[in-house]
Structure 1
C-alpha cells in the first residue's frame, strides 16, 4: 500500500500481481474489449441486486476496464467518457473506485455507505460519479490469479448486509465458472 503523508489515508494498494494478471487475461483473450456475454452478466447482476450500476471489471497495471457494464441507461460503448456526476465509462484509472482494493485483498468488500469509511470516502468516484455504496468480489480463476472483479454500486447508501455479500460471492463464482468453460471450449 502507498501512504499519503498529507492526508494520512491509505491510497490505492500496490498490486504486485498485475503483470501475472495481464498475462493471464491475454491468455484467456479477455479484458481488452467489451463483450456481450459480460454485458449480459452485468445486466443479470443488476437484476439480482436491484443496483443501478454493475460491472465486470478487469484490471491491469494502470487502469480498470469494464468488459461488462450495465447502467440505468443500458450498456455503454467503448468511447463513452465518464465526466460529471453519474457518468460512467468503460475505462477508469486504477486509483479510482474500490475494485483495485478487492483484487489486492482477494476478498469481497461491502461498503454500505462509503462515507462511513474515511479510507474509502475520499476516493475520486464519490465526487466525480456520486458513488455512495459498493459491493464487489474478486474473480479468482483456477490458476489462482485474481483476474478482476464483479461489482455493484449505487448513488445511495444500501444495506447490503450478509445477503449482499453472499450474493456477490456466488455471482463471482458463477462468472469464473463461465470463464473456465470458455477456456475449455465449452462456452
Structure 2
C-alpha cells in the first residue's frame, strides 16, 4: 500500500491542543485499508492491550483509559479500564477521531467549555468527561489507526513526563499490533503450506497409484520429494511421524494410517502400532523385534536398530517373509 502523508491532503496540520481537520476521502480509504489489515476489529479482549491501558491510567492518574480504533463510521474499543462502560460510538462524536490525526498527544483540558466538544454525548451525558488526552497509534507507513487515551471526569493537565509516557505506550500498542499481525500471517502461511502439502501428496498418489514410489514431505517450509525405496522404517511420535531413510530423518505432521496408505503395500508392513518397516530392509528377527539395515555407512560399526513387533502384527509379518 502506498504511503500517503496527511500533509498532502489536509489543509493545515493540527496544532498542539487543537483538534485535527478531517483527511481527504482518498487518504481515508487508505487509512481504513491499513486498519483492517490488522484484523483487530471486533476481536475479544487481550491481556497485552488491557495491561497497557491500566498502565496509562496509573501513570496519568486518571480513572479511565482506552485503546480505541477509528473505523469508517465508528469508534471501536479494543481495551478499556475504568468505571465507564463504552461500546461502539459514532465516530463523529469522539475525541479520538481528532487525536489520531494529531502530530503529538492531543490534550483537551475542559471539553465542556470547548465549542467543538461541549455537545458530545460523552460530555453532556452520564460519562461527564471533563478531560481527555490521546496519543495517536500510527503504522510504520504513517497511517493513524486510533489512540491510546486517558479520560477523567474532572479537568486536569498532564505533566510532560505523563505526555511522554503516553507516547511510549502508543508505540507499545503498535508493537503488539504488528506482532499480532505477523503471527496471524505466519499461521496463514502455515495453513497454505499444509494445503499445498496435502495437494502435492494427493497428486503424487494419483500419479503413482500403481507403484506409489514417491511421496512429498514438508521440511523447513519447503516440500521435499522422498523415494519410498529409500525409506527404511517409519516411527509414530504423537501427532507426528518420523520417516527414516538411508540419509535423513524427516519429521512430518501426519498419522500412521495416512502414511501407510501412501506407501507401496508390497514393500512395507505395519509391525507395531508405532512402526512401519520396509520388508527388504529387515536383516534379522530376534524374539519380538526386527533388525533394520539403515543403509548408512557411519552406522556400519554400530548395531542395527531393533524395532519391536506387536503381538497382533507378528503372524502377518511372518506370513509375508520367505521362511525356510
Common topology (TM > 0.5): yes
Aligned pairs for 1:150-169 within 5 A: 150-169=148-167
Please give the alpha-carbon distance, in whole angstroms, between the structure 1 residues aligned to 2:54 and 2:67. Answer: 10
Deviates more, 1:172-181 or 1:140-149: 172-181
1:42 to partner: Cα distance: 1.6
CA gap 1:58/1:47 in 2 versus in 1, 3 angstroms: same
Q: Is the 2:39–2:181 contact (alpha carbons within 8 Å) kept by the matching residues of 1? A: no
Matched, 1:96 2:73: no
Cα distance in 2 for residues equivalent to 1:177 and 1:144 = 14
For 1:141, the equivalent position in structure 2 comes to 139
Bigger CA radius of gyration: 2
Q: Which residue of 1 aligns with 2:171?
A: 173
Contact 2:75–2:94 at 8 Å: present in 1 too?
no
Report the Cα distance in structure 2 between the residues aligned to 1:12 and 1:173, rounded to whole angstroms.
Answer: 20
Matches within 5 A, 1:81-120: 87-120=84-117
Q: Could you tell me which of 25, 37, 40 is aligned with 1:27?
A: 37
- Any stretches of 5+ residues in structure 2 without a counterpart? 1-9, 11-18, 185-324
CA distance in 2, matches of 1:99, 1:121: 15
What is the CA-CA distance between 1:29 and the residue it aligns to?
1.4
CA displacement at 1:169 relative to structure 2? 1.1
Determine the C-alpha separation between the residues in 1 that align with 2:94 and 2:37.
Answer: 26
DSSP-derived class of the 2:183 partner? coil
In terms of fraction of residues, the more strand-rich structure is 2
1:130 CA drift (Å): 0.3
- How far apart are the structure 2 equivalents of 1:27 and 1:108? 25
Could you tell me how far 1:52 is from its partner in structure 2?
A: 1.1
Q: Which of the numbers 44, 51, 74 marks the counterpart of 2:62?
A: 51
Greater Cα shift, 171-180 or 62-71: 171-180
Partner of 2:205: none
Q: 3-state SS of the aligned residue for 1:65?
A: strand
Instruction: Report the count of equivalent residues.
Output: 164
Question: CA 1:13–1:139 in structure 2 vs 1: closer, same or farther (change >3 Å)?
Answer: same
TM-score between the two structures when normalised by the length of structure 1: 0.76
Q: CA 1:13 to 1:33, structure 2 compared with 1: closer, same or farther past 3 Å?
A: farther
Distance 2:164 2:175 in 1: 17
Relative distance call for 1:43 and 1:132 in structure 2 (3 A) is same
